[in-house]
Structure 1
Amino acid sequence: MQWIRMPALLMIALLAFAAAACGTSPDEGKPEQSGAASEHQEGHSEHDAGKNAPSAPKVKMDLPEDAKAGKEVLIQITVTHEGEPVNDADEVQFEIWKKGAPKDDHEMIDAEKTGDGVYSIKKTFPEPGEYKVMYHVTARGSHVMEPAETLVVQ
């Protein structure tokens, strides 16, 4: 009777070991990032093409210095690639949120091409406070985004 139990227990142990081995991840053992920065980067890993990637476009953001609640403000970026304006970006968006707001409260706004390499939006902020503004530019095979800048609305 015990001889029957022993092979069955051995088989169960081998199956458990095999199942555990199949579940390992190549990222196991690496420290995990935490905090808002890593949460925002989640889903953006495909944008890091590595050392062999073509040069990414350069982006310069212009935020207004005198933004007032209830008044329309102009937010714009200038996109260049190898010194030339980029007029054919695949997608340009601004991500805007009130400082400290959860990710669910981030607003994504599509920008319009308004000049030579210039993309912009007009936005009215409902109340005074500090707002975070981040751009997302997809052009020339790259996705470019930088840490958010702070816009103070009076």
Structure 2
Amino acid sequence: MKRIYIFLCLSLILMPAVACSPTEPAAEQHDPAPETHHHNHTPASTQLDITFQSSPDHPGKNQPVELKSVITAEKDPVENAQVEYEVWKQGEQHEMIKASHQANGIYVATKNFPQDGQYHVIVHVTAPGIHQMINGSVLIGESQ
């Protein structure tokens, strides 16, 4: 009984480590030209460079606003990230908006903001082996 208990404890400890470890398809592990795929690999030790901007510069309420981020790792565009914008106005509900990948590490989403004021934005970027966030903001209407 003691052996079963030890085995179960070790299994529970090791399962998350195995489940969360990054994996690659076998074909890419032996790729003779890895430089052709370097944009799609983001080692866990890599720090991502994330930018955020919104456009137009001075949008009004209910006007479409483009939320845009450029994601790079070691100056190379990251083409395989999942990018979401967490958006909220002080004291209101947070909303998650998925961005779509355009090209060259550029990710874009569009949102109409219903009220004038300052909106907080957190850019969530998840790439293989890494999750990083940056803060930003969008001012809708006249400055207050």
In the alignment, the residues of structure 1 paired with residue 98 and residue 107 of structure 2 have an alpha-carbon distance, to the nearest angstrom, of: 9
Match of 2:83 among 80, 87, 92: 92
Q: Which residue of 2 aligns with 1:152?
A: 139
Q: Which residue of 2 aligns with 1:136?
A: 124
> Normalising by structure 2, what TM-score?
0.63
Task: Give the letter for the 2:72 counterpart.
Answer: T
Task: Give the letter for the 1:119 counterpart.
Answer: Y
For residue 100 of structure 1, report the CA deviation from its aligned partner: 3.1
Task: Give the letter for the 2:60 counterpart.
Answer: K
> Normalising by structure 1, what TM-score?
0.60
Match of 2:69 among 72, 77, 96: 77
User: Structure 1 residues 58, 117: CA separation in 2 closer, same or farther (over 3 Å shift)?
Assistant: same
What SS does the corresponding residue of 2:52 show, helix, strand or coil? strand
| Structure 1 segment 2-151 matched on structure 2, within 5 A | 54-64=45-55, 65-89=57-81, 91-101=82-92, 105-146=93-134, 148-151=135-138
Q: Identity of paired residues, percent?
A: 33
Instruction: Extract unaligned runs of 5+ from structure 1.
Output: 1-45, 47-52
For residue 57 of structure 1, report the CA deviation from its aligned partner: 1.4
Instruction: Extract unaligned runs of 5+ from structure 2.
Output: 1-19, 21-43
In the alignment, the residues of structure 2 paired with residue 150 and residue 111 of structure 1 have an alpha-carbon distance, to the nearest angstrom, of: 16
Which structure has greater strand proportion?
A: 2
RMSD: 1.6
Task: Give the letter for the 1:117 counterpart.
Answer: G
How many residue pairs match? The answer is 98
What SS does the corresponding residue of 2:109 show, helix, strand or coil? strand
1:3-23 per-position Cα deviation (integer Å, ceiling 9, x unaligned): xxxxxxxxxxxxxxxxxxxxx
Higher Rg of the two aligned structures: 1
